[in-house]
Amino acid sequence: MSYKQISTTRRSPYLGAFVDGIDLSQPLTKETVAEVRSALLEFSVLFFRNQSVSDSEHLRFAAYFGELDTPHPVFDCKEDDPRLTVIESKGRAHDAEHYWHSDVTYQEAPSLGSILIARKIPDSGGDTVFASMYAAYDTLSSPIKKMLESLTAQHSIERGWATSLRMQPNGEKRLQKLKEAFPLMTHPVLRTHPETGRTALYVNEYYTSRINELSEPESEGLLRILHHQSQLPDFQIRHTWQIGDVAFWDNRCTQHYASHDYGAAHRVMNRVTIVGDRPYFKQVFRQAAWVSTPLVWGCRGVGKMR
C-alpha cells in the first residue's frame, strides 16, 4: 500500500515497519491517523524512531485509535494518570514475567494494541521480539488448521503472574484477588481479525492453560506444537531499543517477548493500551461444500478461500 502522509520501511516479510515523516509530539490530522491505522493493519507492528514524546502526548496519540484501557492489574502506573503503565526492571528478584504472549488474553476483551515508549534502556540487551500469528497460522498444515477450527482454550491470569506475585510480600493474597477479578476465560484457538478478516493463531505459553475439548495429555501435546509454531524465528523481528523509540503493535495478531538479558541494569518503558473486543473465529463458507464433496479438500482453488 502507498502512503502520502507517512513513509514506511518494511522490516521483514511477515511483520514490522519503521514509520517516518511523523512527529508524535504534535497533533495529527485525520488523514495521518488513517494512514497509521492502515499501516498497523498491513505490518502488525510499527516503530517510530527519534521521537520526543511527553506523557500527555503519548496518551493523545494512543487515543486516536480507540478508548484507552484502565490500569494494568499488575504493573505500576503513573499517579497522575493511571492509564499510563510503567514497566520497570532493575534487578528485581520477582522479575519472572518473560514469556511469549499476547497481552491480557485472560480478559474477556483483550486489548486492541499497545503503544510502548523507551524511557531508560540498558547499555546492552533488553530487546523486544515480535512474532506474526498470521504467519504462524498460515504455515500450519491443512489437517491441523481444520482441527483447530472447532477448539477453544482457557486463559488464566494465575498461569501468567503466579510466580512473580508469590515472590512479593502479600503476593498470595494479591493473586487470589486477581483470580476473583479475572476468572478463567475461554477464547477460540483461532482468531479472526475484526478489521482484516485474516486468521491468526490465538494461544500463548504465558496465559493459555489448556484446550477445553481435549484430554489433559492431548491438550498439553497440542499446545506444545502450537507454541513451537508461534515462536519460530522465521516469523519474528527483533527490536533493539533507543531512547525515544515508540512501538505500536496489534495485539490481535501478534505475540511478543521482552528479552531479560540485562541483569540488574535499569530499564523503564511506558505503555498505553487501547481497549479491544472479544475474540471470535468466523469460519469461511466452505464446510458444507467439503462435507458433501470431500475430495474437494485437495483442490488448490478451493484451498485459497482459507
Q: What is the mean pLDDT of each run of 10 residues along the chain (306 residues)?
A: 95 98 98 98 98 97 96 83 89 65 96 97 95 98 97 93 79 86 95 98 97 98 98 97 97 95 91 97 61 35 36
Burial class (CB in 10 A: 0-12, 13-18, 19+), 125: middle
Q: Give the global pTM.
A: 0.89
Residue 200 and residue 298: Cα distance in Å, rounded? 22
Q: Is 260 one of the annotated active-site residues of the chain?
A: no
Residue 206: C-alpha distances to residues 154, 193, 210 (Å): 12, 21, 11
Residue 203 and residue 150: Cα distance in Å, rounded? 14
Active-site residue, selected from the candidate residues 11, 72, 101, 193: 101
Q: Is 271 one of the annotated active-site residues of the chain?
A: yes
Active-site residue, selected from the candidate residues 11, 83, 103, 210: 103
DSSP state of 305: T
Looking at residue 95, its pLDDT comes to 59
Instruction: Taking the CA atoms of 110, 211, 280 and 148 in sequence, report the sign of the dihedral they define.
Output: positive
Looking at residue 91, its pLDDT comes to 62
Residue 192 and residue 283: Cα distance in Å, rounded? 9
Residue length of the chain: 306
Active-site residue, selected from the candidate residues 58, 187, 256, 267: 256
Looking at residue 62, its pLDDT comes to 98
Give me the residues paired with residue 268 across strands: 88, 120
Active-site residue, selected from the candidate residues 83, 187, 227, 271: 271
Give the strand pairing for 236-239 and 128-132.
Answer: antiparallel
Q: Is 261 one of the annotated active-site residues of the chain?
A: no
Q: Is 94 one of the annotated active-site residues of the chain?
A: no
Domains of the chain: 7-277 (3.60.130.10)
